[in-house]
Amino acid sequence: MSNEVQSSLPRSDSANEINRLHAEAEKLRAESRDMLHVALVAAWKAGQLLLAEKRSVRRTMGPGAWILWLERHFVGTPRTAQHYMRLASTVADVSFLQGMSLRQVYFSLGIATEPKSPACSVMLRPVPRHATLAVRLLALLPTRSNSISPEMQRAYWQDFRPLYERLRLLFE
């Protein structure tokens, strides 16, 4: 309150107003804490459903289809979906979340979050496209050559021979 308003109220009215505002602040703080818990439970449940859907999509359409499914059906960002799924896979009992903020939950689970203010953020250069593609390619390739049938080995050889020839120049 401003000095003008305070001086215009009698002492007892001022104390009553202070106590009323204090009671309102306490009530809203308790409601806010309850709503925060409801939001965390909703995020946890969304994570459970996302995990189930991811298993289903990967089983029926293959691992590469999950991102496409997210882009088409999930309103949030893929990072948010990852956070929800990590929350759901790490926390078995929702009561663990009671009294915590989303940032506190993510911190306790080791999930990186965006800083609260832009001044605290660290600017990272984007990963070059070729590095991203190389990691994706390595993830798709089998790790053991003895587990690949001879016809698949020939197919890999034919498909990757031009790539090998171009990359070999970089390493010689």
Helical axes 78-90 vs 65-73, angle rounded to 10°: 110
As a whole-number percent, the residues of the chain with pLDDT over 70 amount to 83
- Model pLDDT for residues 42-88, shown as the tens digit of each residue: 989 999 999 999 999 999 998 789 999 999 999 999 988 998 898 88
> What six digits make up the tokens of 13?
């009215």
The first and second tokens of residue 77, run together, are: 């960002």
- Read out DSSP for 15-65? HHHHHHHHHHHHHHHHHHHHHHHHHHHHHHHHHHHHHHHHHHHHHHH-TTH
Q: Would you place residue 1 in the very low, low, confident or very high pLDDT band (cuts 50, 70, 90)?
A: very low
- Amino acid at site 104: Q
Could you state, in order of their start, the residue ranges of all structural domains in the chain? 3-124, 128-172
